A and B are shown apart, each in its own frame.
Chain A
Amino acid sequence: MSQPAARSAAVTDVSQPPSLARGRVIRPQGLRPATRGVIGIVGFFAVWQLAGSLGLINEFLLPPPSALARAYYEAISSGELFENIAASMMRVTIGFLLAAFCGVTLGIVLGWSTTIADFFKPIIEGLRPIPAIAWTPIAILWFGIGNGPGYFLVFIGAIFPIFVNTFAAVRNIDRNQINAALCLGANTKLLVFDVLIPASLPVIFPGLRIGLGIGWMCVVAAELIAAQSGLGYAIQQSRVLMQTPNVLVGMITIGVIGFVMNVAMGQIERRLMKWK
């Protein structure tokens, strides 16, 4: 009689730990990470505003958020902000697409053929450490002031991470998948587009994402020196005119757009790789 009772007690004991464990999961105040992020940002601006209002910081060197809001309102209502955003976005898009096409192509070809890679590797490895900014003077000589240096610097900044990731992805591809495709009769086109690229995409995509981020930094750098429009040009002009709030408006906009682009790339990545 006592034995079944003991057994049933043991069964309940076994079912106990998981529910206990669930109770132990740390979830402070039940806040979602996004909510905490918003609180962080609001808190940051509040402290900044407070420090400004109390006269703790020089208003010319670091205007408080209220001054930025005014500058933002003016930049938006005059349409100037959107013109500059459009100019920068256009440059980064064209430069990035060129870099994506060339970087992925180069990565696939060199990843596939060790012989061709041997020819190109030293050149690529020699060019790679040169920061995109260091290309600015020669870009101005080649393309003059305007869109040209922007496209070029974005291209230079973005192509290397894209190439490196594609190259690594193709080099590390599962040999059996290639063999499977070959024995099923795949020709080069099918092998590249239906096997090689999709198989490499989980590694190529982070490269594209990093490339776009760097490209976005490069376009601003190019516009600081070599353009007559764009967010980089706008902050440089505002500096010359001593309009500190406008400098910060431009900087914040650059940050926000960079953030949004990264999130968008993450969304595209998730959608493209739903098989993961």
Chain B
Amino acid sequence: MKPAQNAPCDPQIVIDHLTKEFAVRGDGKMLRALDSIALTIRRGEFVVLLGPSGCGKSTLLSIIAGFQHPTAGEVLHDGKPISRPDHHRTVVFQDYALFPWMTVLDNVAFGLKAQGISLKQRVEVAQHFIALVKLSGFEQRYPHEISGGMKQRAAIARALAPNPDVLLMDEPFGALDAQTRVLLQEEVARVAFETQKTVLFVTHSIEEAVFLGDRIVVMSARPGRVQRIYDVPLQKPRLPETRRLPEFVQLSEDLWESLKPEWQLQ
């Protein structure tokens, strides 16, 4: 029996009627950034949050990471409410957030050090992940000595090293040039496929969403709501050729048609 579409089999992250409000500076009003979000992310699934800026997608990711708390509703990770950040959900940031005083190796090994793993083993595991993101040979470089694309590769290796259940990626390629972006999308597709990680990926690029996602959650702005969820009818692993498939082109166009009014409002 095939499970019905969108029905969560083996849910990992359950977002239950989550609302987030911020106090507006000056007047006593509250600004509603997220309005009653309900979403289930299955184990091993690649979910993309897509929407215009101001739709609260980064706020939602930040709440799932445990950096912020919801105003109402809750987020469950394997049935347990998320109250603070921990190494089961690691984050890749748009500005990399690498530690500039540490070498690539020490950056990647940081999460392992936090777990009290011995130095020898840390280096071994870190080197494995550095190889996975194709950064071997750059272990002893400092972040300021490598390019933006390499920094993001290092940040991805650092997030994967503590073996998280869920990888949270917050517009990770927003600061990169178009070509590097395409290459890194392919790397992320490969790494996610090889490691079988659950990934939540925030972006405002339709192509990126279609190329990477199993499901695309389209959000609308002010307040942030789930507008529609799209299943991506593309096989895995996603390869450079995937971009030329008629399904890829069709879904990209459909998404653009449905998102255009939102984007024009900006």
Interface residues of A (CB under 8 A from B): 174, 176-177, 179-187, 190, 194-195, 198-199, 201, 273, 275-276
**If A177-B97, A177-B99 touch, does A190 touch B113 (CB 8 Å cutoff)?**
yes
Q: CB distance B93 to A180 under 8 Å? A: yes
7 tightest A-B CB contacts, nearest first: A185-B87, A184-B111, A176-B97, A185-B114, A183-B85, A182-B85, A198-B101
Please name all residues of chain B whose beta carbon is closer than 8 Å to the beta carbon of A198 when the two chains form the complex. Answer: 99, 101-102
Please name all residues of chain B whose beta carbon is closer than 8 Å to the beta carbon of A187 when the two chains form the complex. Answer: 114
Cα A181 to Cα B87 with chains together (Å): 9
Interchain nearest-CB distance for A30 vs B (Å):
33
Please name all residues of chain B whose beta carbon is closer than 8 Å to the beta carbon of A177 when the two chains form the complex. Answer: 97, 99
B133 within 8 A of A: no
**Residues of B within 8 Å of A, CB-based: how many?**
30
Please name all residues of chain A whose beta carbon is closer than 8 Å to the beta carbon of B102 when the two chains form the complex. Answer: 198, 275
Q: Identify which of A182, A183, A185, A195 contacts B99 (C-beta below 8 A).
A: A195
Q: Identify which of B99, B110, B114, B115 contacts A199 (C-beta below 8 A).
A: B99
Q: CB distance A179 to B97 under 8 Å? A: yes
Q: Identify which of B67, B111, B114 contacts A179 (C-beta below 8 A).
A: B67
Q: CB distance B89 to A183 under 8 Å? A: yes
Q: Identify which of B66, B90, B100, B144 contacts A184 (C-beta below 8 A).
A: B90
Q: CB distance B95 to A183 under 8 Å? A: no
Cα A190 to Cα B113 with chains together (Å): 9
Q: List 28 A-B contacts (CB under 8 A).
A: A177-B97, A179-B67, A179-B97, A180-B97, A180-B99, A181-B114, A182-B66, A182-B67, A182-B85, A183-B85, A183-B86, A183-B89, A183-B168, A184-B90, A184-B110, A184-B158, A184-B159, A185-B86, A185-B111, A185-B114, A194-B99, A194-B113, A198-B102, A273-B101, A275-B101, A275-B142, A275-B144, A276-B100
B51 within 8 A of A: no
Q: Identify which of A183, A273, A275 contacts B90 (C-beta below 8 A).
A: A183
Cα A83 to Cα B252 with chains together (Å): 81
**Chain A residue nearest to B111 in the complex (CB):** A184
Please name all residues of chain A whose beta carbon is closer than 8 Å to the beta carbon of B67 when the two chains form the complex. Answer: 179, 182-183
B105 within 8 A of A: no
Q: Identify which of B85, B97, B158 contacts A174 (C-beta below 8 A).
A: B97
Please name all residues of chain B whose beta carbon is closer than 8 Å to the beta carbon of A195 when the two chains form the complex. Answer: 99
B219 within 8 A of A: no
Q: CB distance A184 to B162 under 8 Å? A: yes
Please name all residues of chain B whose beta carbon is closer than 8 Å to the beta carbon of A179 when the two chains form the complex. Answer: 65, 67, 85, 91, 93, 97
Please name all residues of chain A whose beta carbon is closer than 8 Å to the beta carbon of B95 when the two chains form the complex. Answer: 176
Please name all residues of chain B whose beta carbon is closer than 8 Å to the beta carbon of A180 when the two chains form the complex. Answer: 91, 93, 97-99, 158
Interchain nearest-CB distance for A181 vs B (Å):
7
Q: A180-B98, A184-B158, A198-B101 are in contact. List 11 more A-B contacts (CB 8 A).
A: A176-B93, A176-B95, A183-B65, A183-B86, A183-B168, A184-B110, A186-B110, A190-B113, A194-B99, A198-B102, A276-B144
Please name all residues of chain B whose beta carbon is closer than 8 Å to the beta carbon of A190 when the two chains form the complex. Answer: 113-114
Interchain nearest-CB distance for B113 vs A (Å):
7
Q: CB distance A199 to B97 under 8 Å? A: no
Interchain nearest-CB distance for B151 vs A (Å):
13
B20-61: CB near A (< 8 Å → 1, else 0) gives 000000000000000000000000000000000000000000
Cα A177 to Cα B97 with chains together (Å): 5
Cα A78 to Cα B186 with chains together (Å): 77
